Structure 1
Amino acid sequence: MNQRVEFADKAREKPLLSIVVPVFNERAMLPLFVKRVFPTLGTLDVCWEMVMVDDGSTDGSADYIKDLVTSKPGVRLVKLSRNFGKEAALTAGLENARGDAVIIIDADLQDPPEHIPAMVDCWRTGTDVVLMQRRSRAGETLFKRWSAHLFYRLLSRTSRTDIPVDTGDFRLMSRMAVDILLQLKERNRYMKGLFAWIGLPTQVIQYDRDPRAAGDTKWDYPGLVGLAIEGLTSFSVSPLRWATIIGLLAASVGALFGVWIVVKAMVLGVATSGYPSLVAIISFLGGIQLLSIGIVGEYVGKTYMESKQRPVYVTEEVVENPHRRYQSSENPQAGERYVKAV
């Protein structure tokens, strides 16, 4: 950090709030996002910066953000070299955020930015984590709402970490919480679990999630299933125990079935048809074995990927205006009062 930047940091008289925004092919949403977020930030009695992480977008999102950097105070672009996934983009945003508090929010506006002032108020009372809990999920199918409801409760019941239900990435974290989180270096990252793992004083605010205002969701059902498996295997060994229990039950059923066949033949004199029962037993046990191998493979694969020690992401470039690093909200009508680097 050069002397000009150090002077700018010291010149801040108010706390600095960082807004981390992961972006992947959200060109249609970005103008709407900016239109709603900037007025909201203008009502806060803080300095703020916005760290927008482009996760390998191919629709011109990065170019739009670059133009935004030159025209809006406090905006910074962190462009990744390719699409690394949302968990990696969040990590990149948190590592580049300089604020005394950090808010994570998606660009799709399903998490209303109008809740940001309430989050900041909670943080100023001494809370390290302000957790936004979804009370409703507008614009989603019944199956998606039901499956999400089931997954969050299954994860909470099986995990050794108390992971709050019905929560996403929309939250505020103090600088201490962010610094602790950045000490966690695993490559297979399930951020919702990592957020919960750090603990610290937490306050929950319930809100109603809005439907997406424009564009299409980037999460299809296979992706959501993969994320669910990642969450279950990252914070719990329960699937391994389930495989063991299912194996014991299968072996017990097979043994009892074998005893029943012997009793029928020797006591009751009933002949047993071989092929149907044999096929049923082999199919059942084969399915159990494949399921168990798949579960063990998930954990072995995680260990393999962790052993490579590859970086979570690669940054292609960081774009910011050094003379407009932070935006102050003391006079939101003017919109031009910011801390200058000299």
Structure 2
Amino acid sequence: MASTLSILVPVYNNAAFLQELYARTAAALTESAIDFELILVNDGSRDRSWEIIRELAAADTRVKALCLSRNFGQHAAISAALEHASGDRFVLMDADLQDRPELIPQLLAELAKPGHDIVYTLKEGGEEGMFRRMTSRAFHSFVGNSTGSHAAANIGTFRAFNRSVASALLNYRERAVVYGPLMHTMGYRTAFVPVPRDARIGSSSSYTFAKRLALALQSIVSYSTLPQKLLLWTGSSICLLSIAYLVAIIVQYLLGYDGLPQGLTLLVVLVLFLIGMVMVGLGVLAAYMFLIYREILDRPRYHVQQAINLDSP
């Protein structure tokens, strides 16, 4: 039986791009004789995205449509698409057409080579201004280094992977899943393909700086030990500096000098600094406790309000 390609696309306020996304994807894959299903997951869009998705699904049964009950976030939408996919090969991409559907056959050709389980794309161009480009690269670089994955700073969401990787991803059941750093830490064999990334037209990214920062913090807390290490290093440094300062005070006293700062001002500064460190430590501890609490609740990642061309979940 011929293998099927599952294209996973989370959708959030992308009504302006969906018809062109479908047309270009269908044209590129039909020309390459690739059997596919296009899974569009409406993640609580407030525009006409779901209306357009329904029209596409009614016209072509290869379009599989999921409408989530509210906005659960990009990674929950990816999870919904992945759990409803039936293909042997997978492509994950955004819906805003910055990722070119015409490049899917190129990714699949790279994926078919021996020793490749995941094919990542490296973005070239298309970023909206220097600030967004810098924050995007800083996000991927910082998260990659802090999680030990050392991912390229210009890595994109656009990627292809095989059924083995998809099955492994489905085994990760944590509520706060972030597929970017997760896939880098799984250990599968990877390849990288530089691809052009078109400029965004007619809309702005839903990933604001605040959302990028929140996602970075979530990734660091979930997939790295950086917060604990920072607290341990800082606490150890404070202890060593305190001992060194105590020794210096004793030596100064024995030698009869009076050059080091002392008195109430120094005491207040040290107490405030230590209180601040304690509060930071409590904040980190609270973040991990919240993650544990959320996992214990074992709530669903998402709720499907309506499904088209798919069995009801």
Q: Are 1:305 and 2:289 counterparts?
A: no
Q: Are 1:77 and 2:61 counterparts?
A: no
- 2:271 aligns with 282
User: C-alpha separation between the residues in 2 aligned to 1:58 and 1:129?
Assistant: 33
User: C-alpha separation between the residues in 2 aligned to 1:200 and 1:269?
Assistant: 62
User: C-alpha separation between the residues in 1 aligned to 2:270 and 2:291?
Assistant: 32
- 1:223 aligns with 211
Higher relative contact order, structure no. (Cα contacts within 8 Å, ≥ 6 residues apart): 1
- 1:213 aligns with 201
Q: Are 1:125 and 2:113 counterparts?
A: yes
Please say if residues 163 and 192 of structure 1, whose CA atoms lie closer than 8 Å, have aligned partners that are also in contact.
no
Please say if residues 16 and 49 of structure 1, whose CA atoms lie closer than 8 Å, have aligned partners that are also in contact.
yes
User: C-alpha separation between the residues in 2 aligned to 1:301 and 1:44?
Assistant: 48
Alignment of 1:208-287 (within 5 A): 208-261=196-249, 264=252, 267-269=256-258, 274-287=263-276
Letter in 1 for 2:130: L
Please say if residues 164 and 196 of structure 1, whose CA atoms lie closer than 8 Å, have aligned partners that are also in contact.
no
- 2:308 aligns with 319
Bigger shift: 312-321 or 79-88?
312-321
Quote the offset at 1:151 in angstroms: 3.5
User: C-alpha separation between the residues in 2 aligned to 1:321 and 1:182?
Assistant: 18
User: C-alpha separation between the residues in 2 aligned to 1:14 and 1:272?
Assistant: 78
> In structure 2, do the counterparts of structure 1 residues 295 and 141 end up closer, same or farther at CA, with 3 Å as the change threshold?
farther
Q: Are 1:63 and 2:51 counterparts?
A: yes
Q: Are 1:158 and 2:159 counterparts?
A: no
- 2:173 aligns with 185
- 1:104 aligns with 92
Q: TM-score, normalised by structure 1?
A: 0.82
Aligned-pair identity in percent equals: 28
* 5+ long unaligned stretches in structure 1: 1-12, 323-342
User: C-alpha separation between the residues in 2 aligned to 1:115 and 1:28?
Assistant: 21
Please say if residues 17 and 99 of structure 1, whose CA atoms lie closer than 8 Å, have aligned partners that are also in contact.
yes
Quote the offset at 1:164 in angstroms: 5.1
Q: Are 1:18 and 2:24 counterparts?
A: no
User: C-alpha separation between the residues in 2 aligned to 1:255 and 1:123?
Assistant: 57
User: C-alpha separation between the residues in 2 aligned to 1:218 and 1:274?
Assistant: 53
- 1:93 aligns with 81
- 1:339 aligns with none
Please say if residues 261 and 272 of structure 1, whose CA atoms lie closer than 8 Å, have aligned partners that are also in contact.
no
User: C-alpha separation between the residues in 1 aligned to 2:187 and 2:248?
Assistant: 53
Please say if residues 69 and 321 of structure 1, whose CA atoms lie closer than 8 Å, have aligned partners that are also in contact.
no
Aligned-CA RMSD value: 2.4
User: C-alpha separation between the residues in 2 aligned to 1:34 and 1:140?
Assistant: 24
Bigger shift: 197-206 or 223-232?
197-206
- 1:197 aligns with 185
Quote the offset at 1:261 in angstroms: 4.8
- 1:5 aligns with none
Please say if residues 111 and 210 of structure 1, whose CA atoms lie closer than 8 Å, have aligned partners that are also in contact.
yes
User: C-alpha separation between the residues in 2 aligned to 1:320 and 1:187?
Assistant: 27
Bigger shift: 160-169 or 50-59?
160-169
Please say if residues 50 and 67 of structure 2, whose CA atoms lie closer than 8 Å, have aligned partners that are also in contact.
yes
Q: TM-score, normalised by structure 2?
A: 0.89
Please say if residues 21 and 104 of structure 1, whose CA atoms lie closer than 8 Å, have aligned partners that are also in contact.
yes
Please say if residues 122 and 155 of structure 2, whose CA atoms lie closer than 8 Å, have aligned partners that are also in contact.
yes
